[in-house]
Amino acid sequence: MRAGTWWSLLARNGFRVSPHRAHLWLGVSFFNPFNDVLGFLQWLGYGRRIHETQLTHDPIFILGHWRSGTTLMHELLVLDDQFGSPSTYACFAPWHFLLTEKLMVKYGSALLPDKRPMDNMRTGWSLPQEDEFALMNLGAPTPYLRIAFPNNEAPWMNFIDMRDVLPQDRALWQRKLTWFVKALTLQQQRQLVLKSPPHTGRVADLLQLYPQAKFVHMVRDPRKLFPSTLRLWKSLEEIQGLQVSHSEQQLQDYVWECLVRMYAAFEANRQLIPDDRIIDVHYEDLVAQPLKTVELVYSHLGLGDFQSVRPKLEKRLAEDAEYRVNEHRVNAEMERAVLEHWGDYARRYGYA
């Protein structure tokens, strides 16, 4: 984050940083001036070019709740050379990635763990990442700011479903997303594949910005989604949070609410997307038959010649053959709770 965004976040949360997380606060504060200087240099060198960049194709958006297979689908699709995507580095340093990404990818790999803590998938600065992290670092309103202060009231929940959003907040969010998409397009000169679970509830806004966008919508058994999502947020809080989380119930309520709000908005606006520009993909199908499933995505959305990218997919899948998905045990009480809170989702997508 740049200094203004960072100190504004701290002030809105009353500077309530847990003593055990003071090193994170000090670390980010130390690097703020460097981000500001590098951001200014990128603006000098690329500002006009970013502003004048035009998209030749609207993005492809991967939608779906957290832990529904969006990351796997994202990584498989961008193996195709016709597609680009935001890298992890671009999302965490959006203000200056055009200047500094090559240097960081080459020399900064030691700054990242080898595996993601929530699921043991590989990490890397050049791997595709959620653009929501870029929006957060650019100062856009996003519920991801909860990660920093998990004990406080969750911020910007209206950006899960875009209801009751003030016009100036919506305009700010649209400006930040538009800028980032243009910056990525300037860098890569390809059609972008973007993945961010909160976009699931933003279909109307995405279509306003990108009328010809296409959508891959991932779904998964909610009895697996719930414990996996709990693990995700706990992992992020432990690594990136400025507070030590102390309420399991508060986190559970947050997880329940997010899917309900997200899918109320998604189902209300899905009819805005022509049928040939959206496809539902079940996580279980993607894991069991990845080649067949991705080929169906290519065919339904008209993404081009699947056979040309098939060898890359086969190579990637062979490399991941030893990977094992985390097993989440669900007792009868949890299953009842999941089907009580997320019953509509379970019935709609065949998991009831």
Cα 319 from Cα 81, distance rounded (Å) = 19
Residue 15: band (very low, low, confident or very high) from pLDDT cuts 50, 70, 90: very high
- Relative to beta strand 83-84, strand 278-282 is unpaired
Tell me the percentage of the chain whose pLDDT exceeds 70.
Answer: 94
Cα 350 from Cα 176, distance rounded (Å) = 36
Put simply, whether the predicted model's pTM sits higher than 0.75 gets the answer yes
Residue 326: band (very low, low, confident or very high) from pLDDT cuts 50, 70, 90: low
Cα 117 from Cα 224, distance rounded (Å) = 17
Cα 78 from Cα 22, distance rounded (Å) = 38
Average pLDDT, the chain: 92
Residue 149: band (very low, low, confident or very high) from pLDDT cuts 50, 70, 90: very high
The residue-averaged pLDDT of 21-50 equals 92
Domain layout of the chain by residue ranges: 3-54+71-209+223-275
Edge-to-edge strands of the sheet including 278-282? Answer: 83-84, 191-195, 60-63, 214-219, 278-282
Whether pLDDT at 117 is above 60: no
Identify the pLDDT of residue 321: 74
CATH of the domain spanning 3-54+71-209+223-275: 3.40.50.300
Strands (E), 262-310: 278-282
Please indicate whether residue 102 or residue 168 has the higher confidence score (pLDDT).
168
Residue-wise pLDDT for 173-232, tens only, equals 999 999 999 999 999 999 999 999 999 999 999 999 999 999 999 999 999 999 999 999
Identify the pLDDT of residue 328: 64
The residue-averaged pLDDT of 132-154 equals 94
Instruction: Count Cα atoms within 13 angstroms, Cβ side, for 58.
Output: 13
Say how far residue 282 (Cα) sits from the centre of its chain: 18
